[in-house]
Chain A
Amino acid sequence: MFRFSFHRRRSASLVTRYSLLVGGRQGLDQALDLLARPDIRTVPLAGGDTLVGAADPAVNAVVDLQDLGLDVISVASDAAAIHIGALVTRSALAEAAPVRACYSGVIAEAAQRWGGSVQRNRATVGGAVATAAGDDPLIAALLVCDAMVVLYDRTGFHELPLVDYLADRAELLAAPALITELVAPAPAAGTGAALATVARTPADAPIVLAAAALTTARGACVAARLALGGVAERPVRLPAVEAWLVNRDLTEETLLAAGAMAADLVNPTGDFRGSAEYRRAMAGVLAARALRQALAN
């Protein structure tokens, strides 16, 4: 809805309480207590870039998650999964050596492909996952890396696939629950990944994007993962295309056929940056392109 009651300075109703947490699980529990209040609509605050910028008047209070130790990227060993704290910023993610080294650097590239350089210094991975914007390349990249989301709720920590989280995102977060971490499992040997986008300008938010990860052995596809952005409210994975690719020779014809399947499977709505028809066509072009590049990587 188009509004003109846009407040540059936040209205009094936006935030009525401000809570700083002291860290650790105790801090997480305190945060959940605040989020659970029935009479005050409270939301977690990470970098603030999206939340404060949106100035949603329905939000009564925020809980600042800084100082909970959620801003750490850790890898147990070279072959292990990468643990990305929810408050890791996009710029930190884009620059982290282990992130750049795995999945052909697609997570780092995708983290970079959003907003301006100054915004990325505050915008967090957790914020991106909580928002799950349909055209956010980071979500698509995490999807094709089979990333897991770690949620913390009253019953403790839960790890679930990002794709499942996206399906039930609103209910899961309303529990209430906090996103504490993303886990990118170590890629299987022979895995290459890639991101393909179309945008009005080179650094603009993509209109449509595709992320792909392919694991191959002797020219045949062992595993395939494909995600699209800009074609639905949230980035989507395309398991049907992925299953179809497995055990096939990854010829140009195969990749083009996979792209065509992808285009058939999505049902985008158009907006001023691209019509439904264009987005569907680009889903096919970019899916094939991401797969082709993933194969080359």
Chain B
Amino acid sequence: MQLQFILNGKPQAWDVAVNESLLDALRRHGVFSVKHGCETGECGACTVLLDGVPVISCTMLAAQAGGHAVVTIEAQGEHPEQGWRHTPGLSALQQAFIETGAIQCGYCTPAQLLAAEASLAENPNPSEAEVRQALSGVLCRCTGYVKPVEAVLAAAARMRGEEGISGIRYSVNQILHIEASNPQSPIPNPLEMRGMLVGKLLHSPIAHGYIKRIDVSKARALPGVHAVLTYQDIPRVVHSTAGQSDPIPGPLDFFSLDRKMRFVGDRVAAVAAETEEIAQRALALIEVEYEELPAILDPRESMAPGAPVIHDEPEYVPFGACDPQRNLAARIDINLGDVDAALAAADYVFEGEYQVPRVQQAPIEPFVCITCWDADDRLVIRTSTQTPFHARRMLAPVLGLPIKRIRVIKPRIGGGFGNKQEVMLEDICAHLTIATRRPVKMEYTREEQFVASTSRHPMIVRLRTGVMADGRIVANEMHVLSDTGAYGNHALTVTGNTGHKAMSLYPADKGPDGQSNIRFHADIVYTNLPTSGAYRGYGVPQGFFPLESHMERIARTLNLDPLAFRLQNVLQPGEEHPMSKAWSEGREAHGEIVRTNAIVECARVGAEMMGWNQRIGESANQRMGEPQIRSFADSPIRRGQGMALVMQGTAIPNLDMGAASIKMNDDGSFNLLVGATDLGTGSDTVLTQMAAEVLGCPPEDFITYSSDTDFTPFDVGAYASSTTYISGAAVVDAARVVAEQIKQVAGRMLDAPAEEIMLAERQAWAPDGRSVTLAEVALQSLHHSQQQQIMAVGSYVSPDSPPPFAAQFAQVAVDTETGQVTVEKLVMVLDCGMIVNPATASGQVEGGMTQALGYAICEEMVFDTAGRLVNPRFGDYRIFTADEMPEMQVCFVQTFEPTHPFGVKAVAEIPLNGVAPAVANAVYAAIGVQIPRIPLTPERVWRALQVHK
């Protein structure tokens, strides 16, 4: 049917299918600012304005837009300089989003901007609550909504002519962020290729079993279908999907397609067809008969005698202490000192068991990948990945291609959070391209994203801690049962991190001999559930909820001040990282000294910001002689404050490597090429700032290009909080060499010694005050005299992984009748070394705390008795929205980390670690009951209250 409507002020007549959503019709016509995040309207990424009102376009038929006016972000504004064509530039809202650092990955930004535009059109002077309400229909997984809300308020003030009272506090590199607000920019999706096919997967409906019979003949016969692949059609190459350095520190146990199904959602077959609709119909025509096997849905049953063996394939390649016959994907045993003796000598021994759930990274952009052959018969993979170089290396044997015939490109992507540290769709998409010789695009639905990607390892953690009566911790033991799901990607390293980071915060060295007495044992087991993997924090949040809950219980039981007790035992600057000699992600470990650690100051500042010493909660209530829980006649709401201390690491020492190259252009601008992968964190901006600092020019003089295996130098990718530290050091290294080259040329031009030349304000300065511009230096070097290309490569690997530290505080209100926990305030004070960009750094913390808040309160993947996920959609899987966020405050206590040229440490992951224990401890303070399991759902809290009534 023909759809007549107005799009961005221009009349349109489109042929649309009667069953086509407005989102699909818009994207089919090249309006790529409208993003796909789900199919049920719950994420809001596909928001457009319909007659000025923000509406969801994925749950609206295109036909329903007939006769209406549709506006997308394309109409809001664009870069002011379009060559000779000058435009009014970005809108006030877009400008404010850039200036406040409200854009991280940028995927939900067009929707937020449209929702804000409509809101301001109706109410030019909104309150913060009204702005939050307006943005509440658009889920953002990056920002924690702090800066988008601030941006809308600032834009509103500016639009009212009240520039002076705008909320803008940050200086962010605007030019780089204009790209993010450009509707054409994010994700591979905008790419359209002649003959491009759509790839889809058929997923297993059973948790464990074999394909007894599979008949794809009807699917293959369907017109428009170009390939149907099963395990019978492609080589059987065992590999891991974990995007990690060579050799992969874990078992190789995965096949692109296999006869065995290991979880509900596992791959059965793949189809490439001319349209998504045909591909879906082809999937429905595939006839499969399964032979079901008993399934393991509880990790406590994985190693039981007689348990079904999930990985019995002969090709299985073990790593370390894994034992597939016992469903053991990995095992870790670390013993420092003499734990048993120290426990025996301790005044008190505290034992506890804690449980953390399986949660999804839930980037708003689902996995998306496009594969094609290029003109030189090389396979090009454009993909939403955090590890393009690892992906290329790992895919080569799987596809039967040498590495040099594969090019992986990471365009701007819509968030990852570890989810995309996985070779998830690239292999199957490439198999389809190899089978069809055609470009193929694959994009997960939200349901597939939940079921058939990765999630955070759920763990059952037992702690045993020896403490003296005066609060000294003399021994600490952690026993972890970690559920890796159906495959062992990241199994060893995630859980290793649980012990390595969490158990190092308190060295347990307060015994007479001063040695650390720490034991860490982990069994990482297979189950017939979706695969666990990397998720921001990488095992450490799973360690800190138990540890900091346990510390709270010890302090309260011994009647010690919880904060003072922690500070009495916490790792000190100048001490050796307790676990550093014992563990390094499955590789040879080297001892590391903790050089910077401002955790005591973080705790002091945080306590002050929180009003900790006047805190409300159990002790205060008891001081006032009130009963534990007041009767119904009073309010059933009880408030409490809690806290947690946390640490993390900065990259993997002696392994994580990043490289960068810098090339000077005729006009004095620079191409900065980095292998580092900006997955929406703003790392491209931060790396550019570092280069700009060294070269004495503003960041907008750089054209930064990242993550293309053909053009950029190598980098391990975006994980382990490594980019600013590792890739940043590589950038500084390259920039310093380029600076030397510039000084040589400028010295000749100014007749001054090169070593005395200074670079600043886009100029090279001689000591006597004369200068030449960098543009003049570039012209001299490229065109005029002793011509040479000013260019350098830098690379960096660090022997250190300096830990960032932080103090996390939380205030909650608990409804003692319903169990509902409302978090009212979160304060995080961090020592992340020196802060290069306050906006991106605080944005990382706010967004991280918001994800961690979900971990504490509401996020949990729940399975039925057949292993099926019962909540594979937003809404049922609840993530926080803008209108229900607690107040959040972030503060940095800066230290200069001497192992880095700019003194930086990591910031990206540590915000995930402290919220859950701080919230749980606040609940403990409020109601006097400790709940050893998250999320703290209303029923869980209510049940705990019933037991203690």
Binding site for B on A (CB under 8 A): 2, 4-12, 14-18, 20, 45, 47-50, 52-53, 55, 62, 64, 66, 115-122, 198-205, 207, 252, 256, 271-275, 278, 281-282, 285-286, 289
Residues of B within 8 A of A4 (CB): 202-203, 205, 265, 447-448, 451
Known contacts being A116-B44, A118-B47, is A282 close to B818, with CB within 8 Å? yes
A-contacting 9-mer, from B96-104, B273-281, B372-380, B918-926: B273-281
Q: Which of B54, B56, B858 contacts A200 (CB 8 A)?
A: B858
Q: List 12 A-B contacts (CB under 8 A).
A: A4-B451, A17-B18, A18-B1, A48-B60, A53-B40, A117-B135, A118-B47, A122-B60, A198-B818, A200-B937, A273-B937, A275-B939
A-contacting 9-mer, from B19-27, B71-79, B348-356: B19-27
Residues of A within 8 A of B61 (CB): 10, 15, 18, 45, 48, 52, 62, 64
A281 to B869, CA, bound (A): 26
Most buried by A among B42, B55, B868, B869: B55
Contact status B277-A9, CB under 8 Å: yes
Interface residues of B in 42-88 (CB under 8 A from A): 42, 44, 47, 53-56, 58-61, 63-64, 66
Contact status B881-A116, CB under 8 Å: yes
A48 to B57, CA, bound (A): 10
Contact status B18-A16, CB under 8 Å: yes
Most buried by A among B448, B632, B869: B632
A200 to B938, CA, bound (A): 6
Known contacts being A116-B44, A117-B137, A122-B55, is A207 close to B60, with CB within 8 Å? no
How many whole Å from B104's CB to the nearest CB in chain A? 20
Smallest CB gap from A252: residue in B: B633
A14 to B24, CA, bound (A): 15
How many whole Å from A226's CB to the nearest CB in chain B? 17
How many whole Å from A4's CB to the nearest CB in chain B? 5
B138 contacts partner chain A, Cβ-Cβ < 8 Å: yes
How many whole Å from A203's CB to the nearest CB in chain B? 4
Smallest CB gap from B40: residue in A: A53
Contact status A201-B857, CB under 8 Å: yes
Q: Which of A12, A271, A286 contacts B277 (CB 8 A)?
A: A12
Further contacts, 6 of them, CB under 8 A, given A116-B42, A117-B54, A203-B884 = A9-B24, A47-B60, A53-B58, A117-B883, A118-B115, A252-B632
A52 to B46, CA, bound (A): 14
B820 contacts partner chain A, Cβ-Cβ < 8 Å: yes
Known contacts being A49-B56, A201-B857, A282-B818, is A115 close to B277, with CB within 8 Å? no
Contact with A along B122-138 (1 / 0, CB 8 A): 00000000000111111
Residues of A within 8 A of B417 (CB): none
Residues of B within 8 A of A274 (CB): 938-939
Interface residues of B in 908-949 (CB under 8 A from A): 935, 937-939, 942-943
A9 to B22, CA, bound (A): 10
A-contacting 9-mer, from B5-13, B488-496, B667-675, B870-878: B870-878
Smallest CB gap from B135: residue in A: A117
- Give 6 nearest A-B pairs by CB, closest first: A118-B137, A116-B137, A10-B19, A117-B137, A15-B19, A198-B818
B546 contacts partner chain A, Cβ-Cβ < 8 Å: no
Contact status A202-B59, CB under 8 Å: no
Residues of A within 8 A of B64 (CB): 45, 48, 64, 66
A206 to B56, CA, bound (A): 22
Most buried by A among B60, B445, B938: B938
Smallest CB gap from A255: residue in B: B632
A120 to B277, CA, bound (A): 29
Contact status A14-B19, CB under 8 Å: yes
Contact with A along B845-867 (1 / 0, CB 8 A): 00000000000011000100000
B597 contacts partner chain A, Cβ-Cβ < 8 Å: no
Contact status B205-A2, CB under 8 Å: yes
How many whole Å from B934's CB to the nearest CB in chain A? 12
Smallest CB gap from A120: residue in B: B137
A97 to B18, CA, bound (A): 37
Contact status B938-A207, CB under 8 Å: yes
How many whole Å from B633's CB to the nearest CB in chain A? 6
Smallest CB gap from B16: residue in A: A18
Residues of B within 8 A of A16 (CB): 18
Contact status A199-B138, CB under 8 Å: no
Residues of A within 8 A of B648 (CB): none
Residues of A within 8 A of B277 (CB): 7, 9, 11-12
Smallest CB gap from A117: residue in B: B137
Interface residues of B in 557-589 (CB under 8 A from A): none
